[in-house]
Amino acid sequence: MTNTSRSGSAAANTNASTSGSGSDQVTVDLLIIGAGPTGLYAAYYAGFRGLTVAIADALPQTGGQISALYPEKLIYDIAGFPAIRGQDLVDRLTEQANQSNPTYLLNHSVTHLNNTDQGITATTNTGTHITAGAALICGGIGNFTPRELPTGTEYLGRGLRYFVPHLNDLAEQDVIIVGGGDSALDWALSLEPIASTVTLVHRRTQFRAHQRTVQQVHTSSIRVLTPYEIHKTSGDGPLSEVVVANTNGDEITLPAQTIVAALGFIADLGPIEQWQLQLRRRRILVNPTMRTNQQHIFAAGDIADYDGKVSLIAIGFGEAALAVNHITTTLDPTRSTTPGHSTDT
């Protein structure tokens, strides 16, 4: 295995991104692209196999789709847990990954990935350069960006947010949630006992969320305003007030320290389509070792495709371990693909 070193250290708080500039250089054995469940487990397992790791994700926090879309929902198909809250699963996977002391590159989108005779080189949107023996793409459904709120974007980071990974961050606040899907209503119900007030604003009278969830919202203390939209936002510094209006021009002024815009996401493969990888059904084709058509590039999780593929978090964990074991022998052919048992260490 090549002798490698790293720039930076493990992020104590993975919600803070590793800063990047044109001069930043990270050198590791393995670059993992995607900090969702599969990527986090791959980071842990790579450390178990003795590899140094960097893990990059365009989002500002670990967890991928879980943290972004359903952090408060219960997940029922994780081995060993009859049920586990989405964010709790992410927190435990992050804690497990941290045992491998990975370099976290959050808020870093990998824009260029090149296969070389010695491994891979990559560049992120911040200008950070990464050299690694191999890359493992665990990008889920690819890049997904939130649909922007038409009004009030100037308050992003000062009251406007698109994710609520930690509910207690909004304790005792006046919160307005915009949207009519499952995420919007789930966050509204989860914040009801924590926030001072919760108002749900939706531009239609019908909701896309599950009917049982809609009924729960209507029988709660959550104020529901339909069909209304955000008309104006104001505040000297942080957000303090929101004006909503309906199609008749009727306006309501509401106190608000936070707007949660849950308007859905736009998903696409982004730069992956330019990386000369063989694709099928907008997924990356892999062989039984999880290797792509590029020698030093592997894929696992929802982004990977092969005959008989089943997209489950549990499957992604297995694919991550399979990929890392074969990456280990790719980097050092004298090592065994068989890892032994963790209890042997």
pLDDT in tens, 86-143: 999 999 999 999 999 999 999 999 999 999 999 999 999 999 999 999 999 998 765 6
Residue 133, phi-psi category: left (phi > 0), alpha (psi -120 to 50), beta (remainder): alpha
330 touches 136 (CB < 8 A):
no
In this structure, how many other beta carbons lie within 10 angstroms of the beta carbon of residue 79?
7
Q: Which residues contact 36 (CB under 8 A, 6 or more apart)?
A: 57, 62, 63, 64, 65, 66, 138, 139, 140, 301
Same domain, 138 and 279: yes
Reference 65, options 80, 83, 81, 86; nearest CA is 86
| Statement: residue 12 has pLDDT above 70 | no
Give the rounded distance of the alpha carbon of 4 from its chain centre. Answer: 27
Task: Show binding-site residues.
Answer: 38, 57, 65, 70, 110, 144, 302, 343
pLDDT-derived band at 15 (thresholds 50, 70, 90) equals: very low
Asked if residue 70 is part of any domain, the answer here is yes
199 touches 227 (CB < 8 A):
no
Give the integer Cα–Cα distance in Å for 328 and 46: 8
For 249, counting Cβ atoms within 10 Å of its Cβ (0-12 exposed, 13-18 middle, 19+ buried), the class is: exposed
- Give me the CATH number covering residue 237: 3.50.50.60
Same domain, 277 and 128: yes
- Give the range among 3-7, 191-195, 221-225, 302-306 with minimum mean pLDDT: 3-7
pLDDT at 74: 85
| Statement: residue 224 has pLDDT above 50 | yes
Place of tokens 């406007």: 160
| Statement: residue 267 has pLDDT above 90 | no
pLDDT at 69: 74
Same domain, 188 and 259: yes
**SS3 label, residue 175:** strand
- pLDDT, one tens digit per residue, over 139-187 is 876 566 788 999 999 999 999 998 887 889 999 999 999 999 988 999 9
pLDDT at 345: 65
Task: Show binding-site residues for FAD.
Answer: 38, 57, 65, 70, 110, 144, 302, 343
Structure tokens at 241: 């007030």
* Residue after which a domain boundary falls, among 263, 281, 296: 263
DSSP assignments along 29-54, one per residue:
EEEEE--SHHHHHHHHHHHHTT--EE
290 touches 209 (CB < 8 A):
no
* Residue after which a domain boundary falls, among 212, 237, 263: 263
Instruction: Give the residues across from 64 on adjacent strands.
Output: none
pLDDT at 71: 81
Give the integer Cα–Cα distance in Å for 93 and 63: 9
Instruction: Tally the domains of the chain.
Output: 2
In this structure, how many other beta carbons lie within 10 angstroms of the beta carbon of residue 276?
12
Q: Which domain holds residue 90?
A: 25-144+266-344
Same domain, 153 and 124: no
Same domain, 273 and 252: no
| Statement: residue 2 has pLDDT above 50 | no
In this structure, how many other beta carbons lie within 10 angstroms of the beta carbon of residue 308?
4
**Whole-model pTM over 0.85:** no
